[in-house]
Amino acid sequence: MPADRRGDRQAALRRRLADAGLDALLVTYLPNVRYLTGFTGSAGMVLLDPVRTVLLTDPRYAVQAPAEVGASAAVEIEPVSLWERLGTVLTAHRPSVLGFERDHLTVRSAERLAGLGLPRVEAAGGAVESLRQAKDPEEVDAIRAAASLALEALETVLATVRVGESERSVAARLEAELRQLGSEWHPFQTIVASGPRSALPHAGSSGRPIAAGDLLLLDFGAIVDGYCADLTRTVVVGAEPDSRQQERYQAVRTAQQTAIAGLRPGQSGQEADRLARASLNSAGLGAAFRHSLGHGIGLEVHEDPRLAPTADGLLPVGAVVTVEPGVYFEDWGGIRLEDDILLTAHGPALLSPGAPPLRVVP
């Protein structure tokens, strides 16, 4: 039975609120609601104060919410207005200073919150997200399982790729295989991009027929127990790779291996990004690396910490991040390799096995 971490998470959040001078926090961002209580519904908010945690949701979740939340929070079911019910809940223990998630509250919701007549309401940024950066062992296991599932699906599909079929047909088979193997859903729109379209970092998948000798870039993921994996592989279809494809692929693979080997907790995101960027610069390909090195993954496919030229935040022990260098050339194509890495106190640990040498499929 996995350990129940919700009480520890709430206690840690209470300590942070006290340090920030807040008496309570209103959590409206659903990934944060899930992290604190286990609730997976599409409508709900959490009030956390020094003595209680309350989940407010609607009658669609009258059975689901108590089952998922258990003893981690009191559940309030409201058939009309969650905001009016929040006002009633706040009456019992009226906080002097209530924090709210400034990055996630809409203008309309902020107006409703202001209408509750609280003594003082303050924007609080990233309190829950900062806790989420360091993963518990159970979270790491879920991400590892998602990565393993995703790569198993990829291997099945790559064996079936044929010259002349469309990118979209490959993406459809990959997404179907991911679901068949147990992925709860797709953490993002699957990218299958061939030939010159592989030079578009977020190309999506089109009706373009795949030609012999094309680079084929696949960016895909899986979700297990709510946790995401995010992976990218690049292959050549139906013909032996030419020398330029081989050289550029190996430069990206070397940059990825260099970055993974050099990752350490306590580095800034900028320092991590420079590991791969310096490697590609030395290969004469630095100008073709058009995005940041990576990002955190967990309940969301893109979360803190960031590995980027502008990221000055430090990487904590327990963070799980992607390492995804790439190079892109208009009218030629692109190569990206992406794996998921756990930062331990002793260095990096691969949750996916690292990109292999350039291969031909099928």
Structure confidence at residue 343 as a pLDDT band (50, 70, 90): very high
* DSSP assignment of 242-290: -HHHHHHHHHHHHHHHHHHHH--TT-BHHHHHHHHHHHHHHTT-GGG--
From the number of C-beta atoms within 10 Å of its C-beta (0-12, 13-18, 19+), residue 103 rates as exposed
How far is it, in rounded angstroms, from Cα 148 to Cα 40? 24
Do 118 and 212 fall into the same domain? no
Do 212 and 348 fall into the same domain? yes
Do 10 and 126 fall into the same domain? yes
E-strand ranges in the chain read 24-27, 45-48, 53-57, 74-77, 98-101, 121-124, 191-194, 215-224, 227-237, 294-296, 303-307, 320-323, 326-329, 333-336, 339-344, 347-350, 360-361
Do 121 and 174 fall into the same domain? no
Distances (CA, A) of 55 to 71, 159, 296: 11, 47, 27
How far is it, in rounded angstroms, from Cα 256 to Cα 323? 7
Structure confidence at residue 198 as a pLDDT band (50, 70, 90): very high
Q: What order of strands is seen across the sheet that includes strand 191-194?
A: 191-194, 215-224, 227-237, 360-361
Domain-embedded: residue 291: yes
Least confident of 113-122, 252-261, 301-310: 113-122
For CA atoms 202, 206, 212, 216, the dihedral sign is positive
- Assess whether pLDDT exceeds 80 at residue 114: yes
Last residue of a domain, which of 132, 167, 200? 132
- pLDDT at position 2 is 83
Domain-embedded: residue 261: yes
Do 166 and 203 fall into the same domain? yes
The CATH number for 108's domain is 3.40.350.10
* Contact criterion met (CB below 8 Å) for 309 and 286: no
How far is it, in rounded angstroms, from Cα 213 to Cα 19? 59
Do 152 and 126 fall into the same domain? no
What average pLDDT does this structure show over 172-183?
A: 98
- pLDDT at position 266 is 97
How far is it, in rounded angstroms, from Cα 195 to Cα 217? 9
- Assess whether pLDDT exceeds 80 at residue 123: yes
Structure tokens at 301: 């496919």
Structure tokens at 350: 């691969």
What average pLDDT does this structure show over 59-64?
A: 98
Q: What are 82-93's pLDDT values in tens digits?
A: 999 999 999 988
Last residue of a domain, which of 109, 132, 155? 132
Domain-embedded: residue 86: yes
Q: What are 241-261's pLDDT values in tens digits?
A: 999 999 999 999 999 999 999
Phi, psi at 296, each rounded to 5°: -70, 155
Structure tokens at 250: 């190996």
Do 246 and 194 fall into the same domain? yes
Compute the mean pLDDT over every residue in the chain, rounded to the nearest whole number: 97
* DSSP assignment of 151-209: HHHHHHHHTT--TT-BHHHHHHHHHHHHHHTT-SS-SS--EEEEGGGGGSTT--B-SPB
How far is it, in rounded angstroms, from Cα 202 to Cα 145? 25
Do 149 and 57 fall into the same domain? no
Last residue of a domain, which of 107, 132, 157? 132
What is the CB neighbour count within 10 angstroms for residue 50?
11
The domain total for the chain is 2
- Assess whether pLDDT exceeds 80 at residue 147: yes
* Contact criterion met (CB below 8 Å) for 174 and 156: no
Domain-embedded: residue 1: no
- Assess whether pLDDT exceeds 80 at residue 94: yes
- Assess whether pLDDT exceeds 80 at residue 307: yes
The CATH number for 143's domain is 3.90.230.10
Domain-embedded: residue 21: yes
Do 110 and 162 fall into the same domain? no
Do 146 and 127 fall into the same domain? no
Domain-embedded: residue 25: yes
- pLDDT at position 361 is 98
Residue ranges making up the domain that contains 200: 137-361
Do 104 and 227 fall into the same domain? no
Do 150 and 253 fall into the same domain? yes
* Contact criterion met (CB below 8 Å) for 219 and 294: no
